[in-house]
Structure 1
Amino acid sequence: MLRALHNIFRLGIKELFSLARDPVLVVLILYTFTVAVAVVSKGVQTEVRNAAIAIVDEDRSSVSARLRGAFLPPYFQPPQLIGYEEMDRLLDSGRVSFVLVIPEGFERDLLTDRAPVLQLNVDATAMTLAGNGTAYVQRIVQEEIARFLSRAEATTDYPASIVPRARFNPNLHSVWFLAVNQVINNVSILAVVLSGAAVIREREHGTIEHLLVMPVTSLEIMLSKVWANGLVIVFAAVASLFAVVQGALGVPVPGSLAVFALGAAVYLFAATSLGIMLSTIATTMPQFGLLAIPVFMILFLLSGGITPLEAMPDGLRLAMQASPASHFTAFSQAVLYRGAGLSLVWPQLLAMAGIGAAFFAFALMRFRATMAAVR
């Protein structure tokens, strides 16, 4: 047992030196956990910012003037006052995302309780902006109409009111969500890339034959690659959360980075095994890259980080329970967003460990077959 542990440790050190001598992978790690996190967090906006809006004002009344003046920066650009015949052209060209049509006689019908209707035309090709912006426009219009009616009438009775309270991200800043989520996704991507590249690199450089003549087993070789690449990714992820997310971007991380590192280490046991399994199917690095792309897409889009699992079809949601990425995303969001401790996230840790054991066993079987074929 001690000899096996010694072999695993020494082979892992060899993997670290081999990785350090690969400038492409070193630059990839640095870029993924620094520039990529900052650029995506700052560049992608899910809230409404500087949206272009136009207004077709056929009423030319005091209430329509109030509505025109209600759309203010930083959420909207100053509204363009256009004619009805210009609406389709502006929407088709993408120059505006919203066109609000105020019909003739709107104020008169509003004061006489005739329930007038406003028309909001939305460019839904920008899906996130369309959904969030529509809610913004509706709220602004409703509030301005309520203020107008409160001046026109003696009293305005509201039977109930809703006071929203956003927890964990009170100002709904997309940067707070995207920065942490990008680190979580990059852990999955690099785990597959580094572990798979380690095996492909051995094969392309011819060093796998050297391993075969050494008194080491396939299990020891595979475990050394898992712990060495996993250690690099955990260190890079924690450093990114501390230096880039908290330091450069100013995003608070209320959870424990130690608990996150523990969960990431358990998850990487499964993710690196997946990378090694893919490397036993591919024979060259280009083949491995093409094979890994659909795996990245599934891990990225269906893990629950972008789209909630509850919104997926029942069959797909159940199938994704077999993915360690789904449990890692739930674990990371609970720890990093909500400050959860081990007493709350142990089910996700247990699920990742169980799935990781299954992935590792299957990858080890494939790796042994590959080593036997080389012999």
Structure 2
Amino acid sequence: MRTANILHLGIKELRSLARDPMMLVLIVYAFSFSIYTRATAMPETLNKAPIAVVNEDRSPLSWRIVNAFYPPYFMPPKLINQAEMDVRMDSGFDTFAIDIPPEFQRDVLRGRRPTIQLNVDATRMSQAFTGSGYIQTIVTDEVRSFVQRYREINEPPVSLALRARFNPQLEKSWFGAVMSVIDHITMLSIVLTGAALIREREHGTVEHLLVMPVTPFEIMSSKVWSMGLVVLTASAFSLVFVVQKLLSIPIEGSIVLFLAGTALHLFATTSLGIYLATLARSMPQFALLLMLVLLPLQMLSGGATPRESMPEAVQYIMLAAPNTHFVMLAQGILYRGAGLDAVWPQFIAIAVIGTILFALALSRFRRTISSMA
């Protein structure tokens, strides 16, 4: 009967979720539009940046540099004079403005190392840093190629053969899409389970459960498997149809193995959601607790910033968080094609942390139920 109770209570949770249009919209948006926009609008990605050029030299080399800026990284360069440069920059028309001085080509060929002025609108932080590096590389490459036709250039004694593993084209959208799926799995699992418990408390249905022959373990287990199943299904749909098909991002490893790790992670995060819901008395309080817990989990798990770049104390503390091991597991499977032989330590760590969180949440839930009885 205990298994049957858990099954029927879980089905009740699914029916309750189906009658909540706001939650359904949140789930659909988080695993479709949100992932697509994050992948295609990465903040550090340079895309169609407006650029203007003051070409005072008008030599073949200067025109070669001007023609090297083209979409998708830059808009076609706007040719302006020196008087317009500051005015357009002040008006926000240009993110970058380049001033190529007179006699530039002649000075280059004579080895005088002339200087090109680059003005950058630093208020556009997402493009200013990345774009400056792009422009420096473009100008250097064009000058080197041009000079090679007139005189020999001393080559360095050692050449670097670069091979980018797991992302040969260095596409930032590959990272953004997969990490968005990982973040939303954590967020939605905590939100759905916590909201389900608080919704029952606000609607008075918890009192109905107390008079039924069900235990707190059965009530909590039903919420864990039902809300976990919803997030697991949504994440599988997102990986296959949004990440792989719509965004054309390759998945190197086994999706089935990733979903198995996701199921373990959901066991931990749904338990955490119930624990937070027992601490909060209303949805606004739950939202505040969620911000205090979710932001550190996502920022310090190794997804946004490599763990090696963090202080050692933070690295050790975050080993107690399921996100840390889930990010390592997900990146290993989805990016590098790792198998179970490589990620089994993360599976064990998530299972242990999930068991502890479930026990803590169940103990707190029992005390909450007893106080309401």
Kindly provide the CA deviation profile for residues 51-80 of structure 1, in whole angstroms up to 9, marking residues without a partner as x. 111223444443222212221222211222
Unpaired runs of 5+ residues, structure 2, are none
Distance in 2, matches of 1:258 and 1:267, equals 14
C-alpha deviation, 1:45, in angstroms: 5.8
Distance in 1, matches of 2:46 and 2:345, equals 36
Q: Partner residue of 1:346? A: 344
Q: Partner residue of 1:127? A: 125
Distance 1:366 1:92, change over 3 A: farther
Q: Partner residue of 2:329? A: 331
Distance 1:89 1:163, change over 3 A: farther
Pairwise mapping of residues 93-132 of structure 1 onto structure 2 (< 5 A)? 93-132=91-130
Q: Partner residue of 1:147? A: 145
Distance 1:134 1:310, change over 3 A: farther
Identity of counterpart residues, as a percentage? 51
Q: Partner residue of 2:260? A: 262
8 Å contact from structure 1 (residues 38, 179) kept in 2: yes
Q: TM-score, normalised by structure 1?
A: 0.90
Q: Partner residue of 2:173? A: 175
Distance 1:94 1:347, change over 3 A: farther
The secondary structure found in structure 1 opposite 2:164 is coil
C-alpha deviation, 1:84, in angstroms: 4.3
C-alpha deviation, 1:131, in angstroms: 3.0
Q: Partner residue of 1:73? A: 71
Unpaired runs of 5+ residues, structure 1, are none
Question: Pairwise CA RMSD of aligned residues?
Answer: 2.3
Pairwise mapping of residues 271-282 of structure 1 onto structure 2 (< 5 A)? 271-282=269-280
Match of 1:194 among 186, 192, 195: 192
Distance in 1, matches of 2:230 and 2:161, equals 45
C-alpha deviation, 1:211, in angstroms: 1.6
Q: Partner residue of 1:315? A: 313
C-alpha deviation, 1:267, in angstroms: 0.7
Pairwise mapping of residues 27-42 of structure 1 onto structure 2 (< 5 A)? 27-42=25-40
Distance in 1, matches of 2:369 and 2:196, equals 14
Q: Partner residue of 1:214? A: 212
Distance in 2, matches of 1:67 and 1:347, equals 52
Distance in 2, matches of 1:127 and 1:308, equals 21
Q: Using the TM superposition, name which of 16-25 and 88-97 deviates more.
A: 88-97
Match of 1:284 among 260, 276, 282: 282
Q: Partner residue of 1:228? A: 226
Q: Partner residue of 1:157? A: 154
Q: Partner residue of 2:363? A: 365
C-alpha deviation, 1:104, in angstroms: 4.2
The secondary structure found in structure 2 opposite 1:101 is strand
Which residue identity is paired with 1:137?
Answer: I
Distance 1:263 1:126, change over 3 A: farther
Distance 1:104 1:318, change over 3 A: farther
The secondary structure found in structure 2 opposite 1:152 is coil
8 Å contact from structure 1 (residues 185, 300) kept in 2: yes
Which residue identity is paired with 2:155?
Answer: Y
Pairwise mapping of residues 16-31 of structure 1 onto structure 2 (< 5 A)? 16-31=14-29
8 Å contact from structure 1 (residues 45, 174) kept in 2: no
Which residue identity is paired with 1:370?
Answer: T
Distance in 1, matches of 2:88 and 2:309, equals 33
Q: TM-score, normalised by structure 2?
A: 0.91
Q: Partner residue of 1:305? A: 303
Kindly provide the CA deviation profile for residues 118-150 of structure 1, in whole angstroms up to 9, marking residues without a partner as x. 333333333342333222212111111111211
Distance 1:17 1:351, change over 3 A: same
C-alpha deviation, 1:83, in angstroms: 4.1
Distance in 1, matches of 2:103 and 2:321, equals 58
Distance 1:335 1:287, change over 3 A: same
Distance in 1, matches of 2:352 and 2:229, equals 20
Number of equivalenced pairs: 372
8 Å contact from structure 1 (residues 277, 363) kept in 2: yes
Distance 1:126 1:346, change over 3 A: farther
Q: Partner residue of 2:353? A: 355
